[in-house]
Homo-oligomer: A and B are copies of this chain.
Amino acid sequence: MVTQSQIAKIAGVSRATVERVINNRGDVNEKTRQRVLKIIEEMDYKPNPAGKTLAIKQRNLKIGCVIIKADNPFYEELNKGIREAAEEYKTYGIDVIIESAVFTAKAQTEKINELLEMGVNGLLIQPTIEPELADVLRRVEAQNIPIVTVNTDLPNYNSRLCYVGNDFYLCGKTAANLMQMLTRSTCRIGIVTGFFNAKSHSDRICGFRDFIADYPGMEIVDTRENQDDEMESYYVTRTMLEAHPEIDAVFLVAGGVKGACQAIRQQKEKTGRMISVISFDDVPTTKELVRDGTILATICQQPVRQGRMALSILFDYLVEGKTPENGRMYTDIQIKLRTNIDA
């Protein structure tokens, strides 16, 4: 592999000039620039990332992260990915500052302001969808600070560097596809969602509806909201099943899986009929329900990977100047059954 030094020697200029050409820093005579560019092309120069990464220590980069403060095992997984990546980047001499805030625009804004005070060069956030927050983020970007959103995105906000997470619409379609196959295209479906106004939840339901539109034998009987709360989930699922005893398939869109499944199990015992259940994510309680057969399949989104990828995109942008191709990086839609839930 050829180095900047070797190119400098061939071009008859100094290393500094070659560096200026490569990194577009201007202040180079157009003729020498062209000559250097030609040599770079001919010799197929590729920068050695190790040199670049070592040198960034001199820039004192800071990356700020606003994560969600919640004792929720799913967020813990996501935060774990962010923390692991943070440890790695710290060894490179980048300061990664992690602040946790509850999931409101107000709390997040406060932490963002703190991070700006500290002079961060990039921001990672799992944003709420409130429009006040979008305004704050616009202010951040106005200061040339790149933003990466993780796990959930801002609606109608495309200036951020990248969104890292699932394609919720396609996840919903996949859930419907599974349910269609498991029920041989015939079922009465009860849906239990987290929040009617959470975009990720409504996107999943949207994908689900669009898929079953082609299957007249599949019918959505009722849709209820559980506020992502286990107790509420038990209550709404139980009352829904009591009101619609014909329900033989349940689509669990968000949290509250355990509560819903308790109601489902009781209903099955009472009526002796089978109910096909599909859920999202694989928090420990959900895993257990997949193992014991209550849930037939759960669709997972690699939260640890999301956290790592989000930070690595900021790193690549700040260190290598790489911009992600389109502003979205989707993690895999992972279908897990009893046999591969622990793989």
Residues on A lying within 8 angstroms of B by beta carbon are 1, 46-51, 53-54, 57, 90-93, 167, 170, 173-174, 176-178, 181-182, 184, 211, 296-297, 330, 332-335, 337-340, 343
CA distance A181 to B53 in the complex (A): 50
A171 nearest CB neighbor, chain B only: B340
Beyond the given A332-B343, A333-B340, could you list 9 further A-B residue pairs with CB under 8 A, ordered by the A residue number? A1-B90, A48-B91, A48-B92, A49-B91, A49-B92, A170-B343, A177-B339, A181-B337, A335-B340
Chain B residue numbers with a CB within 8 Å of A1 are 90-91, 93
A173 nearest CB neighbor, chain B only: B339
Q: Closest 8 CB pairs between A and B?
A: A50-B53, A50-B54, A335-B335, A177-B339, A174-B339, A173-B339, A333-B340, A46-B91
Q: Is the interface of A mostly helix, strand, loop or mixed?
A: mixed
A174 nearest CB neighbor, chain B only: B339
A337 and B174 contacting across the interface, CB-CB below 8 Å:
yes
CA distance A167 to B339 in the complex (A): 12
CA distance A150 to B53 in the complex (A): 30
Given A54-B50, A90-B1, A332:B332 Cβ within 8 A:
yes
CA distance A174 to B174 in the complex (A): 18
Residue contacts A-B, CB under 8 angstroms, 14 given: A1-B90, A1-B91, A46-B91, A48-B54, A51-B54, A54-B54, A170-B340, A174-B340, A176-B339, A177-B337, A181-B296, A181-B337, A332-B332, A335-B340
A172 nearest CB neighbor, chain B only: B339
CA distance A252 to B337 in the complex (A): 19
Chain B residue numbers with a CB within 8 Å of A91 are 1, 46-49
CA distance A167 to B340 in the complex (A): 10
Chain B residue numbers with a CB within 8 Å of A297 are 181
Q: Which of A174, A184, A211 has the most CB of B within 10 A?
A: A174
Chain B residue numbers with a CB within 8 Å of A337 are 174, 177-178, 181, 335
Question: How distant is A305 from chain B, measured CB to nearest CB, in Å?
Answer: 10
Question: How distant is A215 from chain B, measured CB to nearest CB, in Å?
Answer: 12
Chain B residue numbers with a CB within 8 Å of A46 are 90-91
A183 nearest CB neighbor, chain B only: B184
CA distance A1 to B181 in the complex (A): 53
Chain B residue numbers with a CB within 8 Å of A92 are 48-50
CA distance A181 to B338 in the complex (A): 11
Question: How distant is A213 from chain B, measured CB to nearest CB, in Å?
Answer: 13
CA distance A51 to B51 in the complex (A): 8
A54 nearest CB neighbor, chain B only: B50
CA distance A178 to B49 in the complex (A): 44
A330 nearest CB neighbor, chain B only: B343
Of B47, B177, B182, which is within 8 A of A338 by CB? Answer: B177
Chain B residue numbers with a CB within 8 Å of A339 are 170, 173-174, 176-177, 211
